[in-house]
Amino acid sequence: MKRVRAYGPACVGNVAAGFDVLGAAVAPAGGEPWGDVVEIGELPPERPVPPGSASPERSELPGLVPQIVLLCDGPFAHQLPADPADNLAVKACAAFARRLGRPLPRLEVRLTKGLPVGSGLGSSSATVVAVVRALDVLLDRPLDEDELLAAAGEAESHAAGAAHLDNVAAALLGGLRLVDPGGRARRLPFPEDLRFVLAVPALTLTTRAARAALPAAVPLGLAAAHAQNLAALVHALHTADRQLLRACLRDLLAEPHRAGLVRGFREVQAAGLGAGAWGCSFSGAGPAVFAVAEAGAAPAVGEAMRQAWAGAGVAAAVKVCVLDRQGARPLGRGGPEDACG
């Protein structure tokens, strides 16, 4: 029976200046995959569903979501919920079915978890975009990109505690994306010679916890300054004003409230900037930290950030990345290297 594999990439949410509205899909500069892979196929009618699988009685849409056999593997599978009904892959099937408006077939879903949970790398987005892309291909593409984005955003909100599309838009559609007031994801230009340097500590910070640290309201002056900074960054990208871009890669809104949640953050940020980064802040909700740097300076920036984490007593992995301009895509039947094809 037909089976489809799909890949969802890692992401940098917010990109410092764009809280909840700006996201960038990324891939290691060496070409290896860095994300989640999902394989979905129809269950043969004669195959029984084992105990513990997500069932229609426990789903959000019992008339549309079938029985699902969920299998999880990969280096971070141990971080996933024990109950399949709580897994975002199953939530994404429900969100897809809602847009489709008719029952899905009985499914087997295999999630290979390649991103750590609670890392700030768009782990939840990588899962849900891989699922909706795989389902769309499996069912001969019944949904358009706007419907897929809406489904992915609904599913991802179960992890984030609120609906925001910065990560899912970039992960699904690729590139650097700005979510407009109508929920459309606008592609922004980004210089080919710049790199995203990700320093990922051996720490965990859930999006819910990071959002809980934010105030319910901000002063009028700060709101104006944030809007000014984001607008200037978008202008800088469209006009190739590199000096202005460098000045605007900063987070006035969320970072001040989240900095104290992550041990060593300010030291890592200072080290990245001191080594030549154009900007350095949390990737999404953190604890991962990203920097934007010229290609030649990127390795030194990454090493400075790694050493700063070590000085704070935290082990960290560093990846120098390019913008992933494809986003979620179906894969061939080969190995994981297909993800970067």
pLDDT in tens, 264-274: 999 999 999 99
Residue 85: the pLDDT is 85
Pair type for strands 176-179 and 185-188: antiparallel
Distance CA 149, CA 106 (A): 23
Residue 161: the pLDDT is 63
Position 4 pLDDT exceeds 90: yes
Residue 251: the pLDDT is 97
Q: Name the band, by pLDDT with cuts 50, 70 and 90, for residue 58.
A: very low
What CA–CA distances, in Å, run from 118 to 201, 284, 297, 308?
11, 10, 28, 21
Residue 49: the pLDDT is 56
Residue 164: the pLDDT is 79
Residue 48: the pLDDT is 59
For CA atoms 103, 142, 148, 31, the dihedral sign is positive
> Six-digit token pair at 322?
């390019």
Domain ranges in the chain are 3-186+324-340, 189-323
Query: What is the per-residue DSSP string for 37-78?
Result: EEEEEEPPTTSPPPTTSB-GGGSS-TTT---EEEEEESTTGG
Position 44 pLDDT exceeds 80: no
Q: Name the band, by pLDDT with cuts 50, 70 and 90, for residue 205.
A: confident
Position 259 pLDDT exceeds 90: yes
Q: Residues 141-183: pLDDT tens digits? A: 999 999 999 999 999 887 666 677 889 999 999 999 999 999 8
Q: Residues 314-332: pLDDT tens digits? A: 999 999 999 999 999 999 7
Fold for 189-323, please state it.
Alpha-Beta Plaits (3.30.70)
Query: Which of these, 197, 190, 150, 200, lies nearest to 172 by C-alpha position?
Result: 150
Q: Residues 67-122: pLDDT tens digits? A: 888 999 999 999 999 888 889 999 999 999 999 998 899 899 999 999 999 999 99
Instruction: Tabulate helix, strand, coil % of the chain (nearest 5).
Output: 40, 20, 40
- The mean pLDDT value for 61-69 works out to 69
CATH, domain range 3-186+324-340: 3.30.230.10
Q: Which residues pair with 317 in a beta bridge?
A: 200
Does this chain's domain 3-186+324-340 share its CATH topology with 189-323?
A: no
Query: What is the per-residue DSSP string for 135-159?
Result: HHHHTT--S-HHHHHHHHHHHHHHH
Residue 55: the pLDDT is 45
Distance CA 296, CA 284 (A): 25
Residue 84: the pLDDT is 87
